[in-house]
Chain A
């Protein structure tokens, strides 16, 4: 049986190669436009059933008949994984003709796998999305479904916090929906601040610089930073730009009516450089991954970190025994300080979260499932379980136990200007460059002007008006 299978596939391979060699090389664009074609030629011959052909046949059918939905998510941790499976099981029970197939993939591996699938024109039905520029590129290529109309039904869109939902809205159309969203802020150790003689968390940027000096004098590493991964450091620069330039500067630069080399962006680099020059980070921070950064916070080796809403869970997860207790008893949170000459509102937030997008081949039941997932009951449960923290459905925050997370959620909801991290918001070519260039600022190999200019160059090429 096996040998015959091998032989038949080998002959297909021969045939395919000969055909491929003779035919003009198909532009990969042909693949997204006509996904049925490859499926038709291979489905009868291949003994191995594949998911792709089945998915393309599904969309035509309404809710009758068997429906299969592929769902790729990145919640590899047990409690999240189990909770998601439970919601899927619940849905399948209520809709016996629907089968949801879940593939759980780790974050970085997921990005690689998704990219290749997207590029081959074959998106999964439901998948993890962070919104912003990457989702925008998929939308532009027609690989994800426009959910605006589907969300008008039952006013579903109104049940989601507007700020986070905006991250998945491109040119006024909704292409995805978040199930958690929070903002970046400073997580700090109250005991270490006390030891260094700091009475209160800093309200202004200059206060922060003073506090950093006090911590250094007390022989405490002021800030943990895993700059090998680059994105932790880019938070600093972006937040400074959010403060100094506000929504106006960013919108102008993004729409190409302004530039990323305008004054606020350069000044942002100058202010951050003041912090970097104080050498506030742990030893070897340029080579430290985010995991090392987490370990530093978890084990009480640094006094603060500028990090997102997940930090509490991540840090606690890496702390052992006494260190864990010390962490949980003493951790506090304060928002990114105000800056002199700032144009933005002090409540402006930099943040983001996790959400879902729907692949172009997905059946309508996939959207139904997403709405089901984001019901207030489910979200409140998950908020309580520490999975969806903070939740995005209005009212679900009642399930939050942690006062710090409650505060984050409140502020994020109230922010007038909610900016998604640049490395997600901008198209990958620019976003990735922002990360690379800000790392250079931390390494001292670039200047604030050069940094802003480099970003502007990339934006000019990538962001056509």
Chain B
């Protein structure tokens, strides 16, 4: 008989080491940042000017911030409505009989492997008004006139979302693929033998069984969309004139660059509350059954 540890001890072994690292390097700085948000502080010298909720009311009253929030919401909508379904569709596609399937899989994952900075750089070249790929192809194939994708207030957010989608569809694809591996082949085969079409198999067997994975990717996509920063910053720094600002770029500009750390921390806290609220609700009502044993 193997000696087994008591339950509390087992839990201790499993939970304590990660908890310590996490508490010290994530939670503790977070708490400090929350404290900063109550102050007006340029980061140098001691915390002196406490403003309580003053930062928060200023943020909520700032139309630039409200604009940034709306941009985050638009990105969420586009991700959930377009990017995730495309990833799912491609995952199903790649999971079936396809010549060179593993090659395709590797290729689809590659954009994720690039850093956001480099992705932003490459796509800045693609979006160049004069000589960029999009305008050149558009002109030659469709007779389109030149559009300044990143310099035009009405196109910039969409242009950025395309790059986001390009970069991350592979990530969701990998998650879906991993989930698909967990679905036993016999179920598919049994259904096909029973006369179901491919489409029916997907709709009634694959997708439901993929449910937990799908719900997970939605969760990650929403949280990721709420925090998107690097890509937007590199391509437009939130501009022109705040047209592509996200809450995170707003935080960086108005918080860091202006040496207003208290204000920046307050923005972060607002972002946190939004994410936390979503997380709480989503887990309780959507993901609950995925975790019941």
Contact = CB atoms under 8 A, between A and B. Distances in A.
Contacts of B150: 228, 284, 287
A285 B259 contact: no
B24 A13 contact: yes
A29 B47 contact: yes
Contacts of B44: 32, 118-119, 137-138, 140-141, 143
Interface string B39-59: 000111111100000000000
A247 interface: no
A58 B253 CA distance: 36
A433 to B, nearest CB: 7
Nearest to B239: A228
29 contacts: A13-B24, A14-B20, A17-B20, A17-B24, A21-B28, A25-B31, A27-B46, A28-B46, A115-B43, A115-B259, A140-B45, A141-B44, A228-B236, A228-B240, A282-B130, A284-B130, A284-B148, A285-B151, A286-B148, A286-B151, A287-B149, A287-B156, A287-B236, A289-B124, A428-B258, A432-B258, A436-B253, A443-B153, A443-B240
A146 interface: no
Given A20-B28, A228-B239, A440-B241, A29 B45 contact: yes
B267 interface: no
Contacts of B32: 25, 28
A283 B135 CA distance: 12
Nearest to A14: B20
A439 interface: yes
Contacts of A21: 28
Nearest to B35: A25
Contacts of A49: none
A287 B151 contact: yes
Interface string A120-164: 000000000000001001101111000000000000000000000
A409 B258 CA distance: 31
Contacts of B37: none
Interface of A: 10, 13-14, 16-17, 20-21, 25, 27-30, 32-33, 112, 115, 118-119, 134, 137-138, 140-143, 227-230, 282-289, 292, 301, 427-429, 432-433, 436, 439-440, 443, 445
Nearest to A31: B46
Given A228-B240, A436-B241, 17 more contacts: A10-B20, A10-B21, A14-B24, A17-B20, A28-B43, A28-B47, A115-B259, A118-B44, A119-B44, A228-B150, A283-B129, A287-B236, A292-B128, A301-B130, A428-B258, A429-B259, A445-B241
Nearest to B252: A112
B163 to A, nearest CB: 14
Interface in B142-157: 146, 148-153, 156
A107 to B, nearest CB: 14
A417 B257 CA distance: 28
Nearest to A301: B130
Interface in B194-248: 236-237, 239-242
Nearest to B148: A284
Contacts of B83: none
Nearest to A428: B259
B261 interface: yes
A132 to B, nearest CB: 13
A436 B21 CA distance: 40
**Residue among A287, A436, A440 having the largest count of chain B Cβ atoms under 10 Å:** A287
Contacts of A142: 45
B18 to A, nearest CB: 11
A103 to B, nearest CB: 20
What are the 9 closest A-B residue pairs judged by CB atoms, nearest first? A29-B46, A287-B151, A284-B148, A284-B129, A287-B150, A141-B44, A119-B43, A284-B151, A17-B24
A17 B23 contact: yes
A112 to B, nearest CB: 8
Contacts of A27: 46-47
A287 B241 contact: no
Nearest to B20: A14
B112 interface: no
B166 interface: no
Nearest to B64: A436
A10 B240 CA distance: 46
A300 to B, nearest CB: 13
B87 interface: no
Contacts of B130: 282-284, 301
A228 B45 contact: no
Nearest to A440: B241
B239 A286 contact: yes
Given A283-B148, A443-B153, A432 B257 contact: yes
B72 interface: no
A283 B240 contact: no
